[in-house]
């Protein structure tokens, strides 16, 4: 996976002065973020976790929702042009419901999302397999958006389990091609005038909700916001019982606005435990507030004391929150180990530094030892140097001088993760 830096690493060479370029929005798709071996691992993972099989040519041959299908090349080509121009922080991806931000929701888009450097890659009629094809044919080439808002699946007529596999494959593809991006995964919106026609989509949502790790992938089901209290759908929000009008897009924007802004601000290397609903027990909520504000060790120690509280409600609430923090810490430790194994020592160092800050007391010692080890490794210096290359905007990477810079980098750091990453920065066209 690709690195996420805290600092800007500007570089000047002739007219290649990009010191004022934005840090993450103009990165290229890192096509070899997984080497052929890691790609094989990904294939095995998808085959095992997603229940897919693969042909010798590398394309999945399992359920239809995971088999890439081309549908609308002209629209796709237009998205390629947008991606290669760079400057996208927020990307909406999906089908006609997402596409509708251009029509019924255009005024809401201009108010809420346009100021956030947003792009809309929704295409009417798309199913999961179409989005998979588009991602695998360059729609993230030239950009690594900070956040991808994904909502797809209502057009699939397949069993719920298969549709969920398609969505999981899309998440894997985004992670592979834009590893610094986070994903706001939306539950499939309700459709039909009455609840009895929504069972399949609701089944899909129950499955994909489990894909959220509340670090890189956050799940939100905002479907109830479009419905009346009795579960029916009014034409004042979705005139055809599927697509939103202006009122519907306003509801959508209001429902995700806070989460979008929060996720855009959060640094991937400084992710903290996410507590979306504070505990109703005030003692526990107080410790949770410390945790979400970066004082993880202090809040954790507070929860550990409350576990023995004489009030069963307080003790149970503390146990629940403490389990969440432990799960987050385990996941972060796993990520650090994975990045070190893959050779991405820069990102491993970033995450370790974040954990040192989160655990400022005795618990930080082990992370400090790991961080010192990482920084002593020559590959860490290669990672620092690589950050300078990846800050060059995609459009300027066609300049022969950029190719020369990459050649010089590979000559200096010929082996390991970053050599292949650097070579992937050079446009293939």
- Kindly list the catalytic residues: 96, 240, 243
The C-alpha atoms of residue 317 and residue 306 are separated, in whole angstroms, by 9
| Measured distance CA(178)–CA(24) in Å, rounded | 10
**Cα 148 from Cα 259, distance rounded (Å):** 12
Distance of CA 66 to the CA centre of its chain: 19
- The gap from C-alpha 178 to its chain's centroid, in whole angstroms, comes to 8
What's the CA gap between 27 and 47, in Å, rounded? 30
C-alpha closest to that of 380 among 338, 345, 348? 345
Phi, psi of 52 (to 5 degrees): -100, 155
Which burial class, exposed, middle or buried, applies to 384 when counting CB atoms under 10 A from its CB (0-12, 13-18, 19+)? middle
Residue 335 and residue 1: Cα distance in Å, rounded?
A: 10
Q: Which are the contacts of 125, defined by CB distance < 8 A and separation ≥ 6?
A: 71, 72, 95, 96, 155
Nearest of 346, 422, 388, 429 to residue 10 by alpha carbon:
388
Instruction: Supply the angle between the helices 345-358 and 378-390 in degrees, to the nearest 10.
Output: 100
Backbone angles phi, psi at 147, to 5 degrees: -145, 135
Cβ count near 125 (within 10 Å): 11
Handedness of CA 238, 244, 250, 256 (dihedral sign): positive
| Integer Cα distance of 170 and 74 in angstroms | 21
- The conformation of residue 207, written as its DSSP 8-state character, comes to H
């Amino acid at each position: 996976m690709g690195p996420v830096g805290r600092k800007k690493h500007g570089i000047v060479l002739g007219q290649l002065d990009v010191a004022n370029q934005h840090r993450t929005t103009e990165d290229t798709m890192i096509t070899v973020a997984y080497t052929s071996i890691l790609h094989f691992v990904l294939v095995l993972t998808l085959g095992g976790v997603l229940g897919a099989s693969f042909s010798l040519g590398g394309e999945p041959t399992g359920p239809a929702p995971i088999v890439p299908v081309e549908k609308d090349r002209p629209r796709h080509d237009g998205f390629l042009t947008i991606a290669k121009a760079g400057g996208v922080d927020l990307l909406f991806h999906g089908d006609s419901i997402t596409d509708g931000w251009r029509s019924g929701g255009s005024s809401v888009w201009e108010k809420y999302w346009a100021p956030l450097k947003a792009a809309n890659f929704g295409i009417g009629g798309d199913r999961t397999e179409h989005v998979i094809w588009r991602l695998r044919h360059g729609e993230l080439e030239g950009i690594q958006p900070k956040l991808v808002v994904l909502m797809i699946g209502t057009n699939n007529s397949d069993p719920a389990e298969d549709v969920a596999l398609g969505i999981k494959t899309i998440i894997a593809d985004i992670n592979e091609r834009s590893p610094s991006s986070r994903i706001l995964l939306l539950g499939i919106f309700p459709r039909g005038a009455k609840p009895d026609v929504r069972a399949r989509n609701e089944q899909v949502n129950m499955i994909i909700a489990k894909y959220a790790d509340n670090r890189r992938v956050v799940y939100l089901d905002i479907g109830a916001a479009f419905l009346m209290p009795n579960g029916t759908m009014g034409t004042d929000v979705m005139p055809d019982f599927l697509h939103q009008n202006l009122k519907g897009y306003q509801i959508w924007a209001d429902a995700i606005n806070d989460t979008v802004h929060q996720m855009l601000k959060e640094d991937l290397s400084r992710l903290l435990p996410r507590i979306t609903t504070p505990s109703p027990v005030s003692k526990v909520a107080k410790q949770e507030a410390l945790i979400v504000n970066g004082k993880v060790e202090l809040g954790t120690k507070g929860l550990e004391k409350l576990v023995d509280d004489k009030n069963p409600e307080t003790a149970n609430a503390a146990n629940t929150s403490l389990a969440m923090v432990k799960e987050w810490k385990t996941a972060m430790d796993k990520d650090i180990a994975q990045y070190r194994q893959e050779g991405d020592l820069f990102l491993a160092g970033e995450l370790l530094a974040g954990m040192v800050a989160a655990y400022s007391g005795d618990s930080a010692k082990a992370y400090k030892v790991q961080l010192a080890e990482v920084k002593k490794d020559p590959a860490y210096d290669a990672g620092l140097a690589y950050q300078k290359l990846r800050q060059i905007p995609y459009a300027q990477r066609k300049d022969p001088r950029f190719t020369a810079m990459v050649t010089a980098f590979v000559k200096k750091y010929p082996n390991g993760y970053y050599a292949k990453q650097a070579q992937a920065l050079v446009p293939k066209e």
